Copies of this chain bind each other. A is one copy, B any other.
């Protein structure tokens, strides 16, 4: 099987689109700005293994801030390699080469490779797998090595990384001389499985599978939970616990409270949960032979040992996904209601902002949701299920895209749905824990890999008809090229998505193939119907149960050019609201996949973060195409009336002050100055 991080190279973004605009910004600005941050803050040189003043800081326990530096460097390398494919850049190329040389130089004889435990606490490696992020850093190094190998076509980074994998593989596992650990911050699992898929490294597969199967075992190590065993070896009382743990032994924080297959609800740190479940889906996909583009650069390696519990893994993934999407996700695709553990609260606990009791909605978490959704599109049954792609798109255009300014230089970590005095709607140049900005880079770098799945079967025997397929998950303007046997297929889409719902498709080079194409009809568009042009003869285009319109080979054979229109009505502004059990009696506006917010930039009279403004579901909404002066970006603004009513006015049952309201896309917030006051969900004032 293959991954978006591998297949993206086959896709080219073509005509102007919001996605292409963002990709160009990241490529030309963000990659450089982030490199400058690495240089300015010390990360760039960390693999030289010199001392940095920040290493003296002992105020953060258990994980000092520099603990993540290995991953900061690795994630930048990975993102940079993705964008070098698009556009060569001499400064970026030189930096990658220098960083790789430093990483190589930092490796120990035995393969070990970690800055903190080489420089700051050399005697303590692997003594705290729960908290010290060694495996997390290793995972990102693996991902960097995969990207590096793909772009540079050499093993300068992969060689030391495979040596490091062997080191870890020797140490951890079910063997007599091994310990049964698994990382406190999952990440390495998905990296190892990508590595296995790309290189066939069976140590990587075995290690990832062990981590996934062993996680949460209550009696794994000498009859004890591994983290208990390890804590006792450190002579640490169980009540000494990280500030992110509300209680002692809060192992649910890192999804280690029970084995994954026994987990009933998605819990704890949201990024860790998404990375872990993405790996679980990879494990399943490898077992099922699920493929993205089976004729692409991905390998079709069968697993070393069959995964007999595959149905249980599928059931767990479906269960945890549904729990998250149905009960623990904001309207914007944000997940993680609780700041303390940067993660999931109880079911339906989704306050809009910190002054209302929560909302974290970390950028990385929604990037993780997109990765998981992409994996589940292949794992969950033979036909793709649009509910995964719908959420993937929701996250992309809202909680992920809102994390970067239009100029590509400022970022968010948390993405509250409502600002307050203590958490204004603002972006920062960088963060001391800098996980989010490079994750946006990595995501946009490999975005082409998320648009569609495709492939074909060319080995069905002499004379048999060859088959090809394309499943289109996301709409934009782009083209993909792939090989099926001798045939070089080109498939393209062209649209003004996310603003308009008509898409033109063209299929080339598939004349010798039976080609099936599936087009996703988003859930928010289904009620309005759709039009395929040319009109398909009866029985040649079927709306599948999973929400995809399937075009049979008979249709694609006679129509190499065709268009889909999900209808202007689907792109009319619509009111959306959270589940009633959230106790959020709010209304928001959406249009197509875009969720909107109000900002004080359009409403200078606002002083209370729109806490006192309500809207009514029956009020007409107008739309206006705006072009932002500073960025030159265009978007539809939405206009409607609202009613400002203080608590006192509400108590008296009065109407309050009628206000003209302007809504802008949530992703575009905080690009136009103002006081940082913003809100997605306004008080629901009924009809």
Contacts and interface: CB of A to CB of B under 8 A. Distances in A.
Contacts of A349: 356-357
A42 interface: no
Give the interface centre of A247, A355, A583, A584 by most chain B CB atoms within 10 Å: A583
Contacts of A585: 583, 585
A647 B580 contact: yes
Contact of A239 (B240, B584, B683): B240
A242 B243 contact: no
Contact of A357 (B355, B357, B580, B611): B357
A579 B651 CA distance: 9
Interface in A609-652: 611, 647, 650
Contacts of A357: 345-346, 349, 351, 357-358
Nearest to A352: B583
A650 B580 contact: yes
A240 B238 CA distance: 8
A241 interface: yes
Nearest to A583: B583
Interface in A329-375: 340, 345-349, 351, 355-358
A349 B356 CA distance: 7
A381 interface: no
Contact of A243 (B237, B247, B358, B581): B247
A529 interface: no
Contacts of A237: 61, 240
A16 interface: no
Interface string A549-587: 000000000000000000000000000000111011100
A356 B327 CA distance: 12
The quantity of this chain's copies bound in the complex is 2
A259 interface: no
B340 A348 contact: no
A686 interface: yes
Nearest to A250: B243
B580 A340 contact: no
A351 B583 contact: yes
Contacts of A346: 355, 357
A265 to B, nearest CB: 13
Nearest to A249: B243
Interface in A234-272: 237, 239-243, 246-248
A241 B240 CA distance: 6
A416 to B, nearest CB: 14
A239 B61 contact: yes
Contacts of A647: 579-581
A112 B178 CA distance: 54
Nearest to A345: B357
Interface in A109-144: none
Nearest to A646: B580
Contacts of A683: 580
A128 to B, nearest CB: 13
B340 A246 contact: yes
Contacts of A242: 239
A581 B586 CA distance: 12
B345 A581 contact: no
Contacts of A239: 61-62, 240-243
Contacts of A240: 237, 239-241
Interface in A205-256: 237, 239-243, 246-248
Contacts of A686: 686
Nearest to A612: B580
B581 A583 contact: no
A346 B356 CA distance: 8
Contacts of A247: 243, 340
A611 B355 CA distance: 25
A539 to B, nearest CB: 33
Given A246-B340, A355-B346, A581 B611 contact: yes
A335 to B, nearest CB: 16
A583 B356 contact: yes
A672 to B, nearest CB: 28
Contacts of A611: 581
Contacts of A581: 356, 611, 647
Nearest to A579: B647
A356 B683 CA distance: 19
A386 to B, nearest CB: 19
A319 B98 CA distance: 60
A242 B248 CA distance: 9
A677 to B, nearest CB: 16
Contacts of A62: 239
A680 to B, nearest CB: 14
A198 to B, nearest CB: 40
27 contacts: A61-B237, A61-B239, A62-B239, A239-B240, A239-B241, A239-B242, A240-B240, A240-B241, A243-B246, A243-B248, A246-B246, A345-B357, A346-B355, A346-B357, A347-B355, A349-B356, A351-B583, A356-B581, A356-B583, A357-B357, A579-B647, A580-B647, A580-B683, A581-B647, A583-B583, A585-B585, A686-B686
Given A356-B583, A585-B585, 15 more contacts: A61-B237, A239-B240, A239-B242, A240-B240, A243-B248, A246-B246, A246-B340, A247-B340, A345-B357, A348-B356, A349-B356, A351-B583, A579-B647, A580-B647, A583-B583
